[in-house]
Amino acid sequence: MKVFISADIEGVAGISHWHEADHEHLRGEEVTFVRGWARSPMSMMETLDDSFDAVIFIGYHSAAYTPFSPLAHTMSSRKYQKICLNGVIASEFLINSYLSYYHGVPVVAISGDAGICQEAKQFDKRIATFATQHGIGDSTVSLHPEKCVKQIKAMVRAALVDVSQNLPVELPKQFEIQIEYKQIADYHFASFYPGVTKVDGRTLSFKSDDFYEIARALMFM
């Protein structure tokens, strides 16, 4: 079985502040890994294609404009106040799930903060979840890392027994992404991307029936 693991760190047990989010992820010898940013529309899903059987998200965090984590953000904590996709506040989980579905690969499991696990279940109840922590103001209440590792391993093993139960995966027929910017300069710059329309003095919109075009727009907006 070929599994794509997208690993972030802000949803890992014990992480509460930005300076803590610069540690390496451990890897086994059997793993081929992508490190750094390819700067392509696939972003955190770089190298994913239809040859994979399943996708797993590890260490994921809540979306920007949500109250579930002191590190809640979507794509850029500096640039975006919030991102909405088809009228729903968009997390990196949502965007990357759609990139997975674009290639016909099911998302089978996610670990991260309680907010993102709740979102995953609302998005697709078939996805296995494990919450490592929850936020209170500028703090997190976290389970012990060793306990998390054991529980995540057990969750993943169970989720991979029969990935066909997470099929079929379907994308909406049309997409609209709306981005509210923190800085007027970023808003002004992104407004020149082809097809972008202005919603208000801080928010831009882009529409397409091809999700890859949405992902491409996110690169430049």
More confident residue, 107 or 36: 107
- Closest CA relative to residue 105, chosen from 152, 47, 38: 47
pLDDT at 23: 58
- Closest CA relative to residue 96, chosen from 168, 44, 50: 44
pLDDT at 124: 96
Domains of the chain: 3-76+92-170 (3.40.50.10780)
- Closest CA relative to residue 57, chosen from 115, 107, 118, 100: 107
In the predicted structure, residue 22 carries a pLDDT above the cut 70: no
Question: pTM of this prediction?
Answer: 0.91
The per-residue pLDDT of the chain, averaged, comes to 92
In the predicted structure, residue 96 carries a pLDDT above the cut 60: yes
